[in-house]
């Protein structure tokens, strides 16, 4: 997958997406992420990228010119002449979930436009954006962190990114339940012991125990997920809709 991120702050991505699994995915050539600085495309003498909102009000709005020019230049970089899914992160968007992550992980090309300050001029959204996405009901200072979250969630679903023993098909939101607790060595840590069933070698009992724990935690923290699971509507990948 080829991802282009249009942002005023490329440095915000350097840490989180350059380590561990996402770094390996890039090294294996399964994923490329390019950060393009919107400011470089500003036509103004002082590389201005924002202005006061028409109609008044607090904060600054990102002007359309640098974003449109940056976007058009970015599209030229894709080998196929396609209109890629173009994502803008905003609290007004559709709330991100595993289903959307899986759908986006199947795209060959993705473009993310990061808003900052009060966001971008509406004409950017109307003309360039295909998907407006929120990562939850709270307000951040810009779209960079939500974009990093979304890229992380999508990248790990690209075939080959996770090892066979890390398969996402085992985990929360795939089964529809929250995950059971995990334990590793040592068996006894400061007097705190691992549940004996996990040491029994009895796979059926272990599976039952894990299922029971998953039900308990989901009932307690996310009863809405149990209700959804009972309706048993799943997509072709067995993910709950």
- Contacting ligand ADE (CB under 6 A), which of 9, 69, 91, 100? 91
Stretch that binds ligand ADE, among 88-96, 103-111, 161-169, 203-211 (CB under 6 A): 88-96
**Under rule CB under 6 A, residue 146 binds ligand ADE:** yes
Q: Is 19 annotated as a binding residue?
A: no
The verdict on whether residue 137 carries a ligand-binding annotation is yes
Q: Where are the beta strands (DSSP E) in the chain?
A: 2-7, 32-37, 50-51, 61-62, 85-95, 109-113, 131-134, 188-189, 192-193
Are 125 and 19 a contacting pair, CB within 8 Å?
no
Helix axes 98-105, 144-155, angle to 10 degrees: 70
Q: Which of 58, 139, 192, 227 binds ligand ADE (CB under 6 A)?
A: 139
**64 lies in the site for ligand ADE, by CB under 6 A:** no
Give the span between the Cα atoms of 181 and 209, in whole angstroms.
10
Q: Compute the distance between CA of residue 213 and CA of residue 195 in angstroms, rounded to an integer.
A: 12
Nearest to 114 by CA among 8, 200, 30: 8
Interacting residue with ligand ADE among 8, 89, 102, 104 (CB under 6 A): 89
Q: Is residue 5 part of an annotated ligand binding site?
A: no
Q: Which residue, 136 or 181, has its beta carbon nearer to ligand ADE?
A: 136
How many residues in the shown chain lie near ligand ADE by CB under 6 A? 11
Site for ligand ADE in 24-43 (CB under 6 A): none
How far apart CA 122 and CA 104 sit, in angstroms, is 23
| Among the listed residues 72, 102, 60, the one whose alpha carbon sits nearest the alpha carbon of residue 6 | 72
101 belongs to the binding site for ligand ADE (CB under 6 A): no
Q: Which of 59, 136, 195, 223 binds ligand ADE (CB under 6 A)?
A: 136
Positions at the binding site for S-adenosyl-L-methionine = 115, 135-140
């Amino acid at each position: 997958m080829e991802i282009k991120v249009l942002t005023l702050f490329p440095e915000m991505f350097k840490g989180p997406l350059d380590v561990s699994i996402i770094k390996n995915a890039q090294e294996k050539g399964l994923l490329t992420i390019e950060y393009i600085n919107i400011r470089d495309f500003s036509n103004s003498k002082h590389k201005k990228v924002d202005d006061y909102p028409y109609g008044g009000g607090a904060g600054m709005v990102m002007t359309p010119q640098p974003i449109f020019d940056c976007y058009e230049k970015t599209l030229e970089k894709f080998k196929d002449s396609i209109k890629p899914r173009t994502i803008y992160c905003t609290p007004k968007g559709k709330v991100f979930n595993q289903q959307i992550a899986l759908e986006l992980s199947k795209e060959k090309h993705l473009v993310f436009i990061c808003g900052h300050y009060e966001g971008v001029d509406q004409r950017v959204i109307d003309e360039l954006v295909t998907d407006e996405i929120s990562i939850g009901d709270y307000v951040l200072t810009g779209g960079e962190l939500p974009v990093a979250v979304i890229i992380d969630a999508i990248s790990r679903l690209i075939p080959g990114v996770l090892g066979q023993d890390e398969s996402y098909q085992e985990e929360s939101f795939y089964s529809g339940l929250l995950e059971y607790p995990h334990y590793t060595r040592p068996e006894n840590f400061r007097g705190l012991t691992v549940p004996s069933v996990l040491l029994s070698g009895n796979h059926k009992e272990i599976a039952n125990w894990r299922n029971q724990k998953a039900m308990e935690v989901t009932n307690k923290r996310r009863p809405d997920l149990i209700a959804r699971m009972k309706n048993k509507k799943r997509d072709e990948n067995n993910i709950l809709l």
